[in-house]
Chain A
Amino acid sequence: MVVGSLRRMDLSWSPTEVAFRNEARAWLAENVPSEKLPSGDTRDGFALHLKWEQRLFDARWSVVSWPEEYGGRNATLWEWLIFEEEYHRVGAPQRVTQNGIFLLAPTLFEFGTQEQRDRYLQPMASGLETWCQGWSEPDAGSDLAGIRSTAVRDDAAAGWRLSGQKTWTTRGAFCTHMFGLFRSDPAAERHAGLTYFLVPLNTPGVTVRGFGRLDGDEGFAEVFLDDVFVDDAMVLGEVNAGWKVAMATTGSERGLTLRSPGRFMATADRLVRLYRDIGARASDPALRHAVVQAVIDVEAYRLQTLATVTAIGDGDNPGATSSLTKVFWSELDVRMHDTALALLGTAAELEDNGWMKDFQFALSGPIYAGTNEVQRNVIAERVLGMPRR
Chain B
Amino acid sequence: MRFAFTTDQLALRDAVREMLAKECPPSEVRSAWANANGRTASAWDALTGMGVLDALVPEAAGGLGLNMLDLVLVCEEVGRVALPEPFVEHALVAAAVVGSGHGSMSALVGPAALGVYADSVDAVLVEDDDRLLLVAREGLVLERQSSVDHTRHLFTVDWSSAEATTEVGGPQECADAFDRAALGNAAVLVGLAQHLLDVTVDYAATRNQFGVPIGSFQALKHKLADVRIALEFARPLVYRAAHSVSIDDIDRSVHVSMCAAQAADAASLAARHALQCHGAIGYSDESDLHMWMKRVWALQRAYGDPAWHRERVARAILDED
Contacts and interface: CB of A to CB of B under 8 A. Distances in A.
B234 to A, nearest CB: 7
Contact of B234 (A78, A300, A309): A300
B1 A12 contact: yes
A272 interface: yes
Contacts of A78: 1
Contacts of B18: none
A384 interface: yes
Contact of A386 (B5, B69, B216): B216
Contacts of A380: 215, 221-222, 224-225
B156 to A, nearest CB: 30
A303 interface: yes
Contacts of B10: 4
Contacts of B234: 300
B314 A384 contact: no
Contacts of A275: 318
Given A307-B236, A327-B229, A296 B313 contact: yes
B8 to A, nearest CB: 8
B206 to A, nearest CB: 10
B5 A303 contact: no
Given A14-B1, A272-B318, A276-B318, A289 B310 contact: yes
A39 interface: no
B205 interface: yes
B261 interface: yes
A119 interface: no
A179 B6 CA distance: 42
Interface in A98-125: none
A300 B262 contact: yes
A170 B201 CA distance: 38
Contacts of A291: 314, 318
B3 A288 contact: no
Interface stretch (A130-138, A153-161, A236-244, A371-379): A371-379
Contact of B201 (A307, A384, A388): A384
Contacts of B5: 1, 4, 9
Given A5-B4, A288-B318, A386-B204, A376 B243 contact: no
A324 interface: yes
A114 B6 CA distance: 39
Contact of B3 (A17, A310, A385): A310
A321 interface: yes
Contact of A292 (B213, B220, B233, B314): B314
A187 interface: no
B292 interface: no
A325 B234 CA distance: 13
A324 B201 contact: no
B229 A272 contact: no
B131 interface: no
Interface string A1-37: 1011111111111100100000000000000000000
A324 B265 CA distance: 17
Contact of B213 (A6, A299, A301, A387): A387
A296 B229 contact: no
B224 A1 contact: no
A306 interface: yes
Most A CB within 10 A of own CB, among B2, B212, B310: B2
A252 interface: no
A293 B225 contact: no
Contacts of A301: 233
B228 interface: yes
Contacts of B311: 289, 292
B317 interface: yes
B205 A387 contact: yes
Contacts of A5: 2, 4, 6-7
B1 A292 contact: no
B173 interface: no
A314 interface: yes
Contacts of B225: 327, 375-377, 379-380, 383-384
B258 A299 contact: yes
A202 interface: no
B130 interface: no
Interface string A312-332: 001000000100110110000
B314 A381 contact: no
A304 interface: yes
Interface in A348-373: 373
Max chain B CB contacts within 10 Å: which of A78, A279, A299, A314? A299
B307 interface: yes
A293 B228 CA distance: 18
B37 to A, nearest CB: 36
Nearest to A12: B1
A19 to B, nearest CB: 14
A17 B1 contact: yes
B240 interface: yes
A380 B201 CA distance: 9
Contacts of B226: 376
A278 B290 CA distance: 44
A9 B233 CA distance: 18
A376 B221 contact: yes
13 contacts: A5-B6, A6-B6, A7-B6, A9-B6, A10-B1, A288-B314, A288-B318, A300-B262, A303-B236, A304-B233, A309-B3, A380-B215, A381-B221
Given A9-B6, A10-B2, A300-B234, 20 more contacts: A1-B239, A4-B5, A7-B2, A9-B239, A276-B318, A288-B318, A297-B233, A300-B262, A303-B240, A307-B3, A307-B239, A309-B1, A310-B2, A327-B229, A375-B225, A377-B225, A386-B204, A386-B220, A387-B213, A388-B216
